[in-house]
């Protein structure tokens, strides 16, 4: 079998940031890396779960919701994938992610989709952790540019 593209990236060179992972037709996959891979610190499951609910809710309620394809966590628990149609420019994608992280960092209230009838693991949420993850990334994302979207080699 062929090695999938994301496994060809040297994860030892990655730091927290946002990268263009791949382009498939009109869908662009962004790698929103929140933890340095293999460094021993990972996103905790309940905080990751809450972060997913908030990130997806924000993105799907933005003015670009029709162009948002998917928001979801990486299995390695070091970040998220953000998939959008190519009608969203890279600059705009960076802005949406930054704005989503601001939203999460400041969020108070009931976690969207966190009731039993809405979620397959409704007891596994941690808003405090999700907010911390967002706050930790804001200084990194604040000055992110299109030029920085390229994976390090």
Domain segments of the chain: what residues? 10-138
Predicted local distance difference test score (pLDDT) of residue 1: 94
Q: Tens digit of pLDDT for each residue in 38-62?
A: 999 999 999 999 999 999 999 999 9
Helices and strands counted in the chain (H then E) = 3, 4
Q: For residues 36 and 42, give the distance between their C-alpha atoms in angstroms, rounded to a whole number.
A: 8
**What's the rounded Cα separation, in Å, for the pair 153 and 8?**
11
pLDDT at 6: 85
- Token pair, residue 14, equals 């990655």
pLDDT in the model for residue 82: 98
Q: Report how far residue 35's alpha carbon sits from residue 19's, in angstroms, rounded to the nearest whole number.
A: 13
CA nearest to 24, candidates 5, 52, 7: 5
- pLDDT at residue 4, rounded to an integer: 84
Q: What is the pLDDT of residue 127?
A: 98
Q: Which DSSP helix (H) or strand (E) runs through 147?
A: none
Buried-exposed string 2-19: b where 16+ CB fall within 10 A, e elsewhere: eeeeeeebeeeebebbbb
Q: Tokens at residue 111, please?
A: 């976690």
Q: For the chain, which ranges sit under pLDDT 70?
A: none
Which CATH number does 10-138 carry? 3.30.1360.80
Q: DSSP code of 60?
A: H
Residues 6+ apart with CB under 8 A from 143: none
How far apart are alpha carbons 27 and 19 in whole angstroms?
14
The predicted pLDDT at position 37 comes to: 96
Helix H or strand E segment including 135: helix 127-142
């Amino acid at each position: 079998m062929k090695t999938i593209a994301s496994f060809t990236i040297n994860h030892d060179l990655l730091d927290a940031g946002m990268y263009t992972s791949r382009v498939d037709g009109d869908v662009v996959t962004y790698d929103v890396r929140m933890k340095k891979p293999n460094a021993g610190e990972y996103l905790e499951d309940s905080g990751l779960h809450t972060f997913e609910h908030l990130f997806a809710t924000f993105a799907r309620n933005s003015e670009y919701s029709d162009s948002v394809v998917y928001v979801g966590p990486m299995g390695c628990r070091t970040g998220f994938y953000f998939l959008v149609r190519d009608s969203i420019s890279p600059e705009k994608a960076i802005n949406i992610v930054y704005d989503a992280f601001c939203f999460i960092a400041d969020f108070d209230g009931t976690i969207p989709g966190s009731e039993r009838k809405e979620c397959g693991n409704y007891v596994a949420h941690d808003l405090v952790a999700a907010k911390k993850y967002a706050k930790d990334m804001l200084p990194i994302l604040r000055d992110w540019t299109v030029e920085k979207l390229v994976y390090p080699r």
